[in-house]
Chains A and B, each alone.
Chain A
């Protein structure tokens, strides 16, 4: 399973990457929206975890654009904001309340489960 982590915080990227790779995931990382777009254009991913605030664009925008070219891909939003809610457009791309990972992450394994289940659902449907 191939996952793209998009976050400009290198520590977060590193910990998530290590954690998921230890569990057999293939993980790429991008530190900006543009970098993430390049990755998505070059390779196919099953899922992406996108920080809401990226240095060059909003995570929302990145997902909305990527979801159009990669309809089979699953997206998760990573945010430290307590009242963030996905926009209507994101909901149409399948990014709902259940796709929000709120910081601080108290149990890393929750993330793994979320990705595996979501990708499984997607493949079924």
Chain B
């Protein structure tokens, strides 16, 4: 950097320059300002702190700053100058009072234009300022110039390069980046040869050496870019000398890759076209408008070897050996017409080559359409021409031969017509015979019967049905003995013998036998034989055979199946009866007998059936009507619903049956299914459901009824209580009323008020009983189901009944005999003790009441209590010898609120509650068996096995 002392202070020529003064001492700053203004400078301003100095300098860009080094505030003069310098190039002169070494060192970093020591004399000030401003301007100009050249170099497309005397690159312009992809720093310091394309290195190095002597020559060489691309460069420039000593080269490198590549491309293109041109196997000859040969291809050179070189000569001289142009020439025509012309011309070439050429002449035109020459395209058609000639000759020969042939054919045709005539006659004659035979054959082959003509037990002819039957073909059988068809000699002999006899007697015979097919299968056949001519046995026999194997098998199968079905019917678990149209019962199966007890001996016809099984007239009539209606439908083949009916069995018991009728041909089939159990179960289920719903209802209203009922009962009791003669209070109250209690009671008795009160109590109690009975339906038995000895339970209950006031007093238990028939081997029965106790009590009460029914004196009134086992059930029966129960009532007695007893005798719930306990809580059943006049038997069935249902219900 230049220093101010290098310049002589001159006159202040820089008047008008603006100066910023940074000085915190007003006396000094105003002094300076005055001096400067006198000298013609303009003072931008005076600031006192570093911050103000930076702000003002950057905003107004003064030409110079006078900066006091020591300033108040955080920025001193040096720091302020540094900040300004970072942003703008403004010269600074420091003002300093006592410049110590360190301060000056610090200040020097900021490159000041001078120092002024205080106190400042005006001359120093102005000289310094003047020189600083001037110096700054020169510097600025120099900078601008330097910048200009730098930009110029850098904007060139070429690379500027300098090397030292050894070829080490000392400078390279930035264009190296664009052209060679290198950063200048990657090139400087390296030998230039490192970047030359290997093949060109020796040449370039030679040039470099030569430059020392004769200066640098222009030359072109290849270089390698950073990415390995090969580029063409052209170098120019010169060698540099210092004191006559070679110190390196200064050169320019231009990228000429594009030009180089284009030239290469042109050369390659021309070479390619030339190769194509020469490789075409037709002759090509390019002529100018004067018919002078310009260029020819290899083929032309071969043909006209003796005239080489052809270029430059006239075509007619070379190709045709003429002095002047030919009269007939397609090229000449093309020159006139401007379009393609074609012609045949003779070939007369070197070494005696000759033939015919097909010549195409294309006129060549320039862009303006002027004809500039002719391209002759010449094809050797000598071979084609020869072939065409040969073909023409052959055609002519063929035509001659054809004519000769035609004549021969005409002769033949005449002969042929004669033949055809004869043939037609022959065919007609044969057709007649054929027709008949075809008819016969078609009959014989279509009948499904095997037919054969046998002469002396030898097969002469056989039809296809016989083949199908036996598996043999016509060929297999023709001329063979019929023995082939039989499984054994014995059978063959037997048939021969027996059939022979019949033929002899009647001329025909039928026999059943077995044949053996070709595959070895035995088939049953029926063979019928008939003599062809009765008078001549030797004329043979026509034998027809029918395969009856299937038929036989079917019969056997039928027999078997009949047996099967007969057995099935016989042992079927449902009762089956078969009767004919007249109503005669022809068959009853085993089940029928076991279920009803009847056999065909007792019911031999339908009439017996009705009489025996339905003793009651009106029911019988109804059942008959239903039966007949169902039968009609069955005869019409309709699906019919089974009829249900109650049937009296041979032992007098009744069972419910489901009847299904089926008409099979002349026979009527009746099937009876025993549904007694099912009916009972169904009814029990229905009853149980009914009772459960009553229970639900009762549970809901019991509380509401019990409260008023309690008031009724308590009210009546209290009323009677207050009439009690034993009570002192009652007596006193009566006295107070002016009457004796006895008198009041007498009055009440007389007017039956006492009776009313007692009746209220009775009715209330009955209502209470009904409500509590109804509630039984809603309650599951609270007791556990436990295994009990049924006998002991029954005995205990009888004792209880005996002591029951109601039963004893109203039913008069005293003279009723109790018969006990216990099965001592009966196992323990799972049941709820209170539940079953209640059931037994109800049944005994009922029996007792039945025996004491008013108006029906029962002799020897007896209740029989019986236990027994029936399969998986324990059965408890309570039987009386009372008046019995009518059939139509038997079902209804288990319905809730159904009673036959007098009003007040029962709640109408006893049997239904019992039935509910047995069916619902024990999964058993309660049924009745009774006939009017013969007592009633109530049957409780309790399952013995209740494991699966858990302990309690």
Q: Is the A/B pair a real complex?
A: yes
Cβ–Cβ contact B706 & A104, under 8 A: yes
Interface residues on B, range: 20 to 34
Cβ–Cβ contact B721 & A108, under 8 A: yes
Cβ–Cβ contact A12 & B721, under 8 A: no
A81 to B705, CA, bound (A): 10
Which residues in chain A, 63-89, are within 8 Å of chain B measured between CB atoms?
79-83
Cβ–Cβ contact A12 & B710, under 8 A: yes
A103 to B713, CA, bound (A): 10
Q: A81-B702, A81-B703 are in contact. Are A104 and B718 (CB under 8 A)?
A: no
Q: Which of A19, A79, A83, A103 contacts B718 (CB 8 A)?
A: A19
Contacts of A15 in B (CB 8 A): 711, 714-715, 718
A83 to B706, CA, bound (A): 13
Which residues in chain B, 281-299, are within 8 Å of chain A measured between CB atoms?
none
A103 to B709, CA, bound (A): 8
Q: How far is the CB of B527 from chain A (nearest CB, A)?
A: 95
Cβ–Cβ contact B717 & A108, under 8 A: yes
A16 to B712, CA, bound (A): 13
Q: A80-B703, A108-B721 are in contact. Are A22 and B727 (CB under 8 A)?
A: yes
Contact with A along B498-535 (1 / 0, CB 8 A): 00000000000000000000000000000000000000
Judged by a CB distance under 8 angstroms, whether A106 is at the interface is yes
A80 to B772, CA, bound (A): 11
Contacts of B714 in A (CB 8 A): 12, 15-16, 19, 104-105, 108
Contacts of B707 in A (CB 8 A): 9, 80, 103
A80 to B711, CA, bound (A): 11
Contacts of B699 in A (CB 8 A): 82-83
Which A-chain residue is minimally distant from B719 (CB atoms)? Answer: A15
Q: How far is the CB of B777 from chain A (nearest CB, A)?
A: 12
Cβ–Cβ contact B721 & A80, under 8 A: no
Cβ–Cβ contact A103 & B775, under 8 A: no
Judged by a CB distance under 8 angstroms, whether B910 is at the interface is no
A105 to B765, CA, bound (A): 9
Q: How far is the CB of A14 from chain B (nearest CB, A)?
A: 9
Judged by a CB distance under 8 angstroms, whether B768 is at the interface is yes
Which residues in chain A, 42-76, are within 8 Å of chain B measured between CB atoms?
none
Q: A19-B721, A103-B706, A104-B709 are in contact. Are A82 and B715 (CB under 8 A)?
A: no
Cβ–Cβ contact B772 & A82, under 8 A: yes
Q: How far is the CB of A42 from chain B (nearest CB, A)?
A: 27
Judged by a CB distance under 8 angstroms, whether B779 is at the interface is yes
Which residues in chain A, 95-113, are within 8 Å of chain B measured between CB atoms?
102-108
Q: Is the interface of B mostly helix, strand, loop or mixed?
A: helix
Cβ–Cβ contact B775 & A82, under 8 A: yes
Q: How far is the CB of B270 from chain A (nearest CB, A)?
A: 124
A107 to B720, CA, bound (A): 12
Contacts of B779 in A (CB 8 A): 83
Which A-chain residue is minimally distant from B705 (CB atoms)? Answer: A80
Cβ–Cβ contact B711 & A12, under 8 A: yes
Count contacts on A: residues with CB < 8 A to the other chain: 20
Cβ–Cβ contact B702 & A80, under 8 A: yes
Contact with A along B671-710 (1 / 0, CB 8 A): 0000000000000000000000000000100111111011
Q: Which of A16, A79, A83, A106 contacts B713 (CB 8 A)?
A: A106
A16 to B705, CA, bound (A): 19
Q: Which of A16, A80, A107, A108 contacts B706 (CB 8 A)?
A: A80
Cβ–Cβ contact A22 & B710, under 8 A: no
Judged by a CB distance under 8 angstroms, whether B558 is at the interface is no
Total A-B residue pairs with C-beta atoms closer than 8 Å?
66
Contacts of A102 in B (CB 8 A): 706
Contact with A along B743-762 (1 / 0, CB 8 A): 00000000000000000000
Contacts of B248 in A (CB 8 A): none
Q: How far is the CB of B677 from chain A (nearest CB, A)?
A: 35
Contacts of A83 in B (CB 8 A): 699, 775, 779
Judged by a CB distance under 8 angstroms, whether B729 is at the interface is yes
Contacts of B450 in A (CB 8 A): none
Q: Which of B711, B717, B775 contacts A11 (CB 8 A)?
A: B711
Judged by a CB distance under 8 angstroms, whether B935 is at the interface is no
Judged by a CB distance under 8 angstroms, whether B363 is at the interface is no
Contacts of A82 in B (CB 8 A): 699, 702-703, 706, 772, 775
Q: How far is the CB of A80 from chain B (nearest CB, A)?
A: 3
Q: Name which of B714, B729, B775 has the most chain A CB atoms within 10 A of its CB.
A: B714
Contacts of A79 in B (CB 8 A): 703
Q: A11-B711, A22-B721 are in contact. Are A106 and B765 (CB under 8 A)?
A: yes
Contacts of A80 in B (CB 8 A): 702-707, 710
Which B-chain residue is minimally distant from A101 (CB atoms)? Answer: B710
Cβ–Cβ contact A104 & B768, under 8 A: yes
Judged by a CB distance under 8 angstroms, whether B180 is at the interface is no
A107 to B716, CA, bound (A): 11
Which A-chain residue is minimally distant from B703 (CB atoms)? Answer: A80
Contacts of B706 in A (CB 8 A): 80-82, 102-104
Judged by a CB distance under 8 angstroms, whether B764 is at the interface is yes
Q: How far is the CB of B68 from chain A (nearest CB, A)?
A: 105
Which B-chain residue is minimally distant from A22 (CB atoms)? Answer: B729
A88 to B703, CA, bound (A): 23
Which residues in chain A, 1-51, are within 8 Å of chain B measured between CB atoms?
9, 11-12, 15-16, 18-19, 22
A82 to B710, CA, bound (A): 13
Which A-chain residue is minimally distant from B702 (CB atoms)? Answer: A82
Which A-chain residue is minimally distant from B776 (CB atoms)? Answer: A82
Cβ–Cβ contact B772 & A105, under 8 A: no
Q: How far is the CB of A104 from chain B (nearest CB, A)?
A: 4
Contacts of A106 in B (CB 8 A): 713, 765, 768
A105 to B764, CA, bound (A): 10
A108 to B711, CA, bound (A): 11
A83 to B782, CA, bound (A): 11
Cβ–Cβ contact A18 & B709, under 8 A: no
Contacts of B764 in A (CB 8 A): 104
Q: Name which of A11, A19, A82 has the most chain B CB atoms within 10 A of its CB.
A: A82
Q: How far is the CB of A55 from chain B (nearest CB, A)?
A: 14
Which B-chain residue is minimally distant from A80 (CB atoms)? Answer: B706
Q: Which of B711, B718, B768 contacts A18 (CB 8 A)?
A: B718
Which B-chain residue is minimally distant from A103 (CB atoms)? Answer: B710
A11 to B727, CA, bound (A): 22
A108 to B718, CA, bound (A): 8
Contacts of A103 in B (CB 8 A): 706-707, 709-710
Cβ–Cβ contact A11 & B721, under 8 A: no
Q: How far is the CB of A63 from chain B (nearest CB, A)?
A: 19
Which A-chain residue is minimally distant from B729 (CB atoms)? Answer: A22
Q: How far is the CB of A92 from chain B (nearest CB, A)?
A: 22
Contacts of A105 in B (CB 8 A): 710, 713-714, 717
Q: A22-B727, A81-B703 are in contact. Are A104 and B712 (CB under 8 A)?
A: yes
Q: How far is the CB of B709 from chain A (nearest CB, A)?
A: 4
A102 to B722, CA, bound (A): 23
Contacts of A104 in B (CB 8 A): 706, 709-710, 712-714, 764, 768
Q: How far is the CB of B624 from chain A (nearest CB, A)?
A: 52
A108 to B721, CA, bound (A): 10
A105 to B709, CA, bound (A): 9
A79 to B706, CA, bound (A): 9
Q: How far is the CB of A95 from chain B (nearest CB, A)?
A: 20
Residue contacts A-B, CB under 8 angstroms, 27 given: A9-B711, A11-B711, A11-B715, A12-B710, A12-B711, A15-B714, A16-B714, A18-B722, A19-B718, A19-B721, A22-B721, A22-B729, A80-B702, A80-B707, A80-B710, A82-B702, A82-B703, A82-B775, A83-B775, A102-B706, A103-B709, A104-B706, A104-B709, A104-B712, A104-B713, A104-B714, A105-B714
Beyond A22-B722, A81-B706, A102-B706, list 15 extra A-B contacts (CB 8 Å): A12-B710, A19-B718, A22-B721, A80-B703, A80-B710, A81-B702, A83-B699, A103-B707, A103-B710, A104-B706, A104-B712, A104-B764, A104-B768, A106-B713, A106-B765
What residues make up the interface of A, taking CB atoms closer than 8 Å to B?
9, 11-12, 15-16, 18-19, 22, 79-83, 102-108
Query: Top 6 nearest A-B pairs by Cβ distance?
Result: A80-B706, A103-B710, A104-B710, A104-B709, A103-B706, A80-B703
